Amino acid sequence: MVQQVPAPGPQQCHDLDANDESLPLLQGLMHSYGDISRVQSLSGNHDSLVIHNTDDIRHVLLGNRSNYIKGLALNRVRVLLGNGLMASEGELWARQRRMVQPAFQTQVIRGFAPLMQRANSDLIGRWAVQAERGEPVNLTRDLSELALNIVLRALFSVDLQRLIDANGASPFDLLTRETRRDLAFAAKFRALAHLVRAMIESRRKEQRIEMDLLSMLMESRDKDSGEAMPDRALLDEVMTLIVAGHETTASTLNWTWYLLSQHGDVEAKLYAAITAAKAVNPEEPDTENAYVEQVLQESMRLYPAGWLLSRRALGDDTLSGYHVPAGTEVFICPYLLHRHEAHWEQPEAFDPERFAPASVEARDRFAYLPFSAGPRYCIGTTFSMAEMSMHLSMVAQHFRLQYLGSEPPEAEFQINLRTRQDIHMRVVTR
């Protein structure tokens, strides 16, 4: 019989959110209470549930998804991104998702390969000079610039270059210069929306359609009404794509290079896989190499950029047999799930073989959620995998990266899982 009782949890109250204080708390809860625990909020307004059981996760993200909207943790995101896909709900979200989705189809993303390739060639050129001089590179900063450059060029193509020519630099560089994501940053970032508005107006005036995401979003039509996106929605989607497309990719690559620098065997295998594929077919795109993908997947297992997902129950529900009252905040923690001993042997070890096809097949799909799952899974999954694969393949053909820190990098658990300090690497030419 279903127990309509609340899930177990501590007496003390806490407000869970995507910040550094939450991880030790979440680890403690998992240790004391297992796969489901309940925490009362300081305000007493709502309880939070933390769930690690894959059936419960599947239920929240997929089976009973209409009962769950984005949770309190998204409020901070909303200030920065407005009501774009990351934060919107209901009909607005469904309409916008339908209209944005075509811009993220595989064929469209293939069309961005040349710009990804150019950005990486430029980076390789700069690193070659630094390698020659024996100068270390600031990996974190360089990857942040690379990922920002790629997403901005995919969005704005020629208009980005015009902006750089007119200003001497890209006004969006703010995103790499400043790492805090507080209210002051949100205000500065939102102020950049006028640049996007000006691009939209100039394209309309000149009846100009470019081969980029902005034009695709401007030309997209709702299949029911035949209408274009209202300007407010268009701006929110563009601002969302800039942030969502930049920070997650940059920090994933940052962690990946750190992991490779600590695992010479994996790094050697990666290099062998890339050169073997090139030997068989020199034209093989750098975006499609199975082992490169396995390395990225394993890196996102240990360091999922979206380390904590939050939802709120609209109506009463039941999870693991416990009562979930309407208004409960539900947290899913990919960081802990990806290290859960029920799904991963020696979870702390870095081992890309876990993502060999047979192992993936044998595992519960909901044990691995770097891009979330269900209808709100990351729209940029294919884009970022292509971008990250291209980067790893191109760079690994030229260099090995040696970590220069004396201690492992400290992780910073904010909205995004970053390294707290920039990572510096020695670049060794092959």
Where along the sequence are the contacts to ligand HEM (CB under 6 A)?
70, 85-86, 97, 151, 240-241, 244-245, 248-249, 252, 300, 305-306, 309, 370-372, 376, 378-380, 383-384
Nearer to ligand HEM, 40 or 256 (CB): 256
Nearer to ligand HEM, 217 or 324 (CB): 217
Nearer to ligand HEM, 99 or 379 (CB): 379
The nearest distance, CB 96 to ligand HEM, in angstroms, is 8
The nearest distance, CB 241 to ligand HEM, in angstroms, is 5
Q: Which residue number has the CB closest to ligand HEM?
A: 380
Nearer to ligand HEM, 303 or 403 (CB): 303
Q: Which residues have a Cβ under 8 Å from the Cβ of 106 and sit 6 or more positions away?
A: 382
Nearer to ligand HEM, 249 or 289 (CB): 249
The nearest distance, CB 382 to ligand HEM, in angstroms, is 9
The nearest distance, CB 306 to ligand HEM, in angstroms, is 3
Q: Pairing state of beta strands 36-40 and 47-51?
A: antiparallel
- Positive or negative torsion for Cα 286, 291, 294, 299: negative
Nearer to ligand HEM, 237 or 317 (CB): 237
The nearest distance, CB 18 to ligand HEM, in angstroms, is 10
Instruction: Please identify which residue in the block is written with the tokens 């691995």.
Output: 368
As a whole number of angstroms, the distance between CA 108 and CA 39 comes to 44
- Positive or negative torsion for Cα 153, 158, 162, 165: positive
The nearest distance, CB 419 to ligand HEM, in angstroms, is 15
For 77-128, give the secondary structure using H, E and C.
HHHHHCCCCCCCCHHHHHHHHHHHHHHHCHHHHHCCHHHHHHHHHHHHHHHH
As a whole number of angstroms, the distance between CA 391 and CA 397 comes to 10
User: Burial, 246: exposed, middle or buried (Cβ in 10 Å; 0-12, 13-18, 19+)?
Assistant: buried
User: Burial, 258: exposed, middle or buried (Cβ in 10 Å; 0-12, 13-18, 19+)?
Assistant: buried
